[in-house]
Amino acid sequence: MPRKNIGAKPYIMPMPVMMVSSYGEDGEPCSMVAVWGGITNEKEITITVAAQRHTLKGILARGAFTVSMADVENEAACDYLGITTGNKVADKFEKSGLHATRSEFVDAPIIDELPFAVECRVKSYDEETWRLVGEIVNVSLDERILGEDGKVSFDKFHPLAFDWMNKIYLSIGEKVGDAYRDGLALR
């Protein structure tokens, strides 16, 4: 089949759906969707957060944020947080129907309904590139998504993936192989 060149686009497939959360000036939780980002070092996460985001104000004021992975069960609530801004809707988080509890490690909220959260201290934010870099200080897992071996079980955890081209959320989870092992057959 011939290949098609579609130009320079911000696409990788799939993208993670990260709920970036902080406390606003009023002390209430705020949260937004971000798909432009990922792990950039052993204890580091980098996310492109546009300077005008309400959630960013809280992140910078308190030097902290959390990243919860959006899941199938809470897809509409998560999308709502990505299409509504706290700059205009003060009780946005409450309207989402989600709830939050303060992180034990950083001054930021963890979304109760989302079982996988990464707690971060702000390392840097660049106004020009919009790059927010966080130091990961803890990963908080709801025990309900853990298997008997203590690891996250994708039978129990259903994170969303994002397809920017079609603007759709997808469910992931089926195991198809073993990393660092299946390639050994070709050595």
Ligand X SMILES: Cc1cc2nc3c(=O)[nH]c(=O)nc-3n(C[C@H](O)[C@H](O)[C@H](O)COP(=O)(O)O)c2cc1C
Q: Which residues bind ligand X (CB under 6 A)?
A: 30, 32-36, 48-50, 53-55, 79, 82-87, 92, 162
Which residue lies nearer to ligand X by CB, 32 or 114?
32
- Residue whose C-beta lies closest to ligand X: 82
* 28 C-beta neighbours (distance < 10 Å), count: 16
Which residue lies nearer to ligand X by CB, 84 or 138?
84
User: Minimum CB separation from ligand X for residue 82, in Å?
Assistant: 3
User: Minimum CB separation from ligand X for residue 142, in Å?
Assistant: 23
What is the phi/psi pair of residue 181, to 5°?
A: -125, -45
In the chain, the amino acid numbered 159 is P
User: Minimum CB separation from ligand X for residue 186, in Å?
Assistant: 36
User: Minimum CB separation from ligand X for residue 95, in Å?
Assistant: 11
Which residue lies nearer to ligand X by CB, 5 or 129?
129
Which residue lies nearer to ligand X by CB, 36 or 154?
36
CB 53 within 8 A of CB 61: no
Report d(CA 76, CA 98) in Å as an integer: 11
Which residue lies nearer to ligand X by CB, 84 or 153?
84
Please name every residue paired with 69 in a beta bridge, in sequence order, or none if there are none: 18
Quick check: helix, strand or coil at residue 26?
coil
Report d(CA 46, CA 127) in Å as an integer: 14
User: Minimum CB separation from ligand X for residue 50, in Å?
Assistant: 4
Q: Give kind and range of the element (H or E) at residue 59.
A: helix 54-62
